[in-house]
Amino acid sequence: MSILVVTGSAGLIGSETARFFSDKGLQIHGIDNDMRRYFFGENASTRWCSSALSQDLGSRYRHDDLDIRDLSGLEKIFRYYGTAITGIVHTAAQPSHDWAAREPLTDFTVNANGTLNLLELTRRHCPDASFIFTSTNKVYGDSPNRLPLVEDETRWRLAEGHPYARHGIDESLSIDHCLHSLFGASKVAADILVQEYGRYFDLKTACFRGGCLTGPAHSGAELHGFLAYLMKCVVTGQPYTIFGYRGKQVRDNIHSKDLVNAFWHFFQHPRSGEVYNMGGGPDSNCSMLEAIEMSQRVAGRKLHHDYVESNRTGDHIWWVSDLRKFKSHYPGWELTYRLEEILNEIYQALSERLQDPVAVS
């Protein structure tokens, strides 16, 4: 039996991975201790999602309420399955700029040390397994903010003629000599470790440097979960705050299913020490102002929002991922979701969950 270990299995990407790979015939071992609740509060808890996975997948899913910093606990799992583990999809993380500054030690040990634990256990017990890591575009720090940007009515854009203007930012952008935030620094450490275990030990590793990862299973919170949290505020009437850049900062957004499908392509034909920028690219991006307008239209409700002039430390003014490297390695993959479809799915799922107090508490 082929085993897939999924960390952060009750989160947006982890749960999508569990369902997708289970449908492909793999047995899923999920690891998630609901630290998102600790990071962002009761409303961000993922317990509802882990319960849904256990119910929907049944015997195809086994869950461990385990912290990825617990090396001995993780080793029991890896030793038990051994080479039956054919893949590790590592999505567990502390994902917020702002939160990292509150508890830098927690942020670093979760993001960096937790990743090191998983890589080392893969090397010891299942060295032929594919190791897929959800990294972040924040490894580039604020370098994108030095690009020649032009302000339009509803968004910033890259000046015409710049190499990144047509297809987005590729993997050649430097991660040096810039401000990362502590979160960005801890993810850089993890990202480099994943690359190094691929190159030095010849493990089958890849870093997927995501833009905004989104979808209906996201437990959105103010500090993390852009579209999901925005839609939650529209639907519930909760006030929303825009931080800096006049609300014109641009994000690309990729649906969790499209990202996990990319994981599947890598899993079938893995490479060693790869890095891929992965997001909505030129076809699925928006500014904050544009996202607000679309969310209001989808929900048929007005958002109550205010504006704070100071932006979040290390935040990007403009980010669009260049997807061409991944597409050149895996030409069978393509983006299938666009913004309107994503927002409609989030709205429908959120409306259903809000009718169930257990799901949103």
Partners of 5 in the β-ladder? 29, 88
Query: Domain span at residue 301?
Result: 3-360
If one counts the domains in the chain, the total is: 1
Report residue 312's pLDDT band, with 50, 70 and 90 as the boundaries.
Answer: confident
For residue 97, pLDDT beyond 80: yes
For residue 171, pLDDT beyond 50: yes
Going by DSSP bridges, is the β-strand pair 250-255/285-287 parallel, antiparallel, or unpaired?
A: antiparallel
CA 302-213-284 angle, to 5 degrees, is 70
pLDDT at 193: 98
Question: Over the chain, what is the mean pLDDT?
Answer: 94
Question: CA nearest 7: which of 82, 64, 83?
Answer: 64
pLDDT at 357: 42
pLDDT at 358: 41
Q: What is the mean pLDDT of residues 14-33?
A: 97
Alpha carbon of 154 to those of 151, 231, 298: distances in Å? 8, 19, 19
Report residue 310's pLDDT band, with 50, 70 and 90 as the boundaries.
Answer: confident
pLDDT at 222: 64
Q: Is the pTM of this model over 0.85?
A: yes
For residue 360, pLDDT beyond 50: no
For residue 151, pLDDT beyond 80: yes
pLDDT in tens, 59-91: 999 999 999 999 999 999 999 999 999 999 999
Question: CA nearest 263: which of 218, 204, 349?
Answer: 204
Report residue 164's pLDDT band, with 50, 70 and 90 as the boundaries.
Answer: very high
% of the chain at pLDDT higher than 90: 86
Residue for token digits 């641009």? 250
CA 218 – CA 229 distance, rounded (Å): 9
* Residues 6+ away with beta carbon under 8 Å from 299: 231, 234, 235, 347
For residue 359, pLDDT beyond 50: no
* Residues 6+ away with beta carbon under 8 Å from 9: 15, 17, 18, 28, 30, 31, 32, 50, 53, 63, 91
Q: What is the mean pLDDT of residues 117-145?
A: 97
Report residue 121's pLDDT band, with 50, 70 and 90 as the boundaries.
Answer: very high
Q: What is the mean pLDDT of residues 340-345?
A: 94
pLDDT at 223: 60
CA 98-101-103 angle, to 5 degrees, is 115
* Residues 6+ away with beta carbon under 8 Å from 233: 239, 240, 303, 304, 305
CA 74 – CA 71 distance, rounded (Å): 5
Confirm if 331 and 264 have CB atoms less than 8 A apart.
Answer: no
pLDDT at 354: 74
Report residue 315's pLDDT band, with 50, 70 and 90 as the boundaries.
Answer: confident
Confirm if 127 and 78 have CB atoms less than 8 A apart.
Answer: no
pLDDT at 221: 63
For residue 347, what is the domain's CATH number?
3.40.50.720
Concatenate the DSSP letters of all residues of 278-323 into one string. ES-GGGSEEEHHHHHHHHHHHHTS---EEEESSPPTT--SB--B--
* Residues 6+ away with beta carbon under 8 Å from 1: 27, 84
pLDDT in tens, 254-296: 999 999 999 999 999 999 999 999 999 999 999 999 999 999 9
